[in-house]
Copies of this chain bind each other. A is one copy, B any other.
Amino acid sequence: MIAIGEASRQSGVGIETIRYYEREGIVPKPERAANNRRLYSLHDVGRLRFLRKCRDLGFPLADTKTLLDLSEGGSDDCQPVKELAEIHITNVRDKIGELRRLEAALSELTANCDSGNVSCPMLSKLRTAHGQ
């Protein structure tokens, strides 16, 4: 059994984040030593690593919790996992599209923005009544 700092190091999840996950009920309350310090098992560390990977993949915390429950549920049924992942990947693609539109709009706005320019074309475009 290891302390929270070591569990943090081994899992890549920050100490404060581990405590936050505990408060939020994402992970079960760990054992406590006689001095009231949290004690984590290898299994607990594995769980934290699992959570970190889900979060790194951009899953919302609630989905991450669901995935963890599915993973520990034993059945390992693909169906609900697939659904969550597909919704998420759709969201990711939507965001990419949105950001690409942003990038294009910004490029266009700053196209004639030279350092030597006195009247800034970007500001004047932002001031016009167009674009709703």
Contact = CB atoms under 8 A, between A and B. Distances in A.
Interface of A: 12, 46, 49-50, 53-54, 57-58, 67, 70-71, 76-79, 81-82, 85-86, 88-89, 92-93, 95-96, 99-100, 102-103, 105-107, 109-110, 113-124, 126-127, 129, 131-132
Task: Tell me the number of copies of this protein.
Answer: 2
A85 B106 contact: yes
Contact of A106 (B88, B106, B114): B88
Given A120-B81, A129-B49, A96 B100 contact: yes
Given A53-B126, A58-B106, A67-B123, 18 more contacts: A46-B129, A49-B129, A57-B105, A58-B99, A58-B102, A76-B123, A78-B113, A78-B115, A78-B120, A79-B115, A81-B113, A81-B123, A82-B113, A86-B110, A89-B106, A92-B102, A96-B100, A99-B99
Interface of A is mostly: helix
A103 B92 contact: yes
B96 A99 contact: yes
Contacts of A115: 78-79, 82
A110 B83 CA distance: 10
